Amino acid sequence: MLTFFNYAIYGLFTVLVVGSLLPISSSPHWFIRGWDFPRTQIVLITWVAAGVFALTNLAAGQPGQPALVGMIGLSTILTIWHLVQIIPYTPLTSPQVKSWNPGQSGAPDEQSHRLRIMISNVQEENDQFDTWRQVVKDVNADVVIVAEVNESWASVIAELKDTYPQQIIQPQDNWYGLALFSRYTIAEAEIRFLVQEDIPSIDALIELPSGDQVRIIGVHPRPPEPIRDTDATARDAEMVLWGKELAEDDRPIVIGGDLNDVAWSQSTRLFLRLSGLLDPRRGRGFFNSFHAGHVWMRFPLDHVFHSTHFAVREMSRLPYVGSDHFPILIDLQLERVMRDVHEPLEEETDDREEADERLDRAEEELGLKAESVDEVDGQPATP
């Protein structure tokens, strides 16, 4: 029995080692890309397994010292391997985006340059409308981006018009409906379909009380999953397209939503290097938003990235709203005087080639040719 148990532990270690190395591959298959997610969990499982192995063999009078030494060494290597990936997203490192310092403000009216954005995947099947609505009211954000909006959720959002008169809503019954609503004026807005005709993005130009305009983009790319859409081709292509486009735009920019990808993945970091945008999570924490129902298996999937025009006042994970995702709040200060203080990720030599490969793959597999756009004419409203 002990021998069988030991071999089971050896098998577990083999799986963890192989799984840890798989994300090195550029393959878009869900099984390979999925191993990017549980880096913290892998470290914990590794040390628990090594401890159980040691205690079990010691209790049986067979310390198994050579095997245990090997496990400890392997656990140490795996720990270092994963920590290198995730430590930049903890308070153990310096924040990539500097915190707002009123003493350095270049704006005479600080509040007029403030922008609070809430990101929320409401989960299409979720019917806890009152719970979500109460969190929205309590948070009192300036702009809210909502994913998985169907007709029922569109009606709930429409009820908030007294507080958020500016609303762009694209309800769909395929888990990819999207909405963006704002207490501030939306000067321009488009519903865009960059990669697939049933996966919208919302691209809006919002005017702050200061008169400054900020480009705010809501996204929810399709993820890889075991049964449908088994690879990350669509998601990767969409983020590459946004990365390239936003790199050419010098205006204040915020892009956010459920990216169905972790902060430390290849795709997310490639997007940041291509676009030159910043990740406020870096140096602050994971802010795990999914899965709201499983404490032991949570990942940072809901993101907000922004241009160097902003400093961060606050970032937080919001209370449970009945969805499998927690909402995220980002409180930003438009601080043009700090543009040269931030440190965007530097573009690597093979980034352009990798980006082109992802777009070529999408063209081959999905027939990607060009985006389509639904323009929202006149006053922003539900199309």
Looking at this protein, which amino acid is placed at residue 48? Answer: V
SS3 379: coil
* Calpha distance 134→113 (Å, rounded): 26
Looking at this protein, which amino acid is placed at residue 290? Answer: F
pTM score of the predicted model: 0.91
Closest CA to 138 of 373, 273, 319: 319
For residue 33, give both structure tokens.
């890309």
> Tens-of-pLDDT digits for all 383 residues of the chain?
557 777 888 899 999 999 999 988 878 888 888 899 999 999 999 999 988 888 887 776 766 577 778 888 999 999 999 999 999 999 999 999 999 887 666 556 788 999 999 999 999 999 999 999 999 999 999 999 999 999 999 999 999 999 999 999 999 999 999 999 999 999 999 999 999 899 999 999 999 999 999 999 999 998 877 666 667 889 999 999 999 999 999 999 999 999 999 999 999 999 999 999 999 999 999 999 999 999 989 999 999 999 999 999 999 999 999 999 999 999 999 987 777 788 899 999 999 999 999 999 888 887 765 455 566 654 444 44
Phi, psi of 119 (to 5 degrees): -110, 130
For residue 231, give both structure tokens.
């690879």
pLDDT number for residue 19? 93
* Calpha distance 56→59 (Å, rounded): 5
* Calpha distance 351→273 (Å, rounded): 8
176-210 as b/e: b if 16+ CB within 10 A: bbbbbbbbbebeebbbbbbbbeebbbbbbbbbbeb
Q: What angle do CA 351, 356, 361 make, to 5 degrees?
A: 125
- What CATH number belongs to 102-375? 3.60.10.10
* Calpha distance 304→147 (Å, rounded): 14
The domain ranges of the chain are 2-89, 102-375
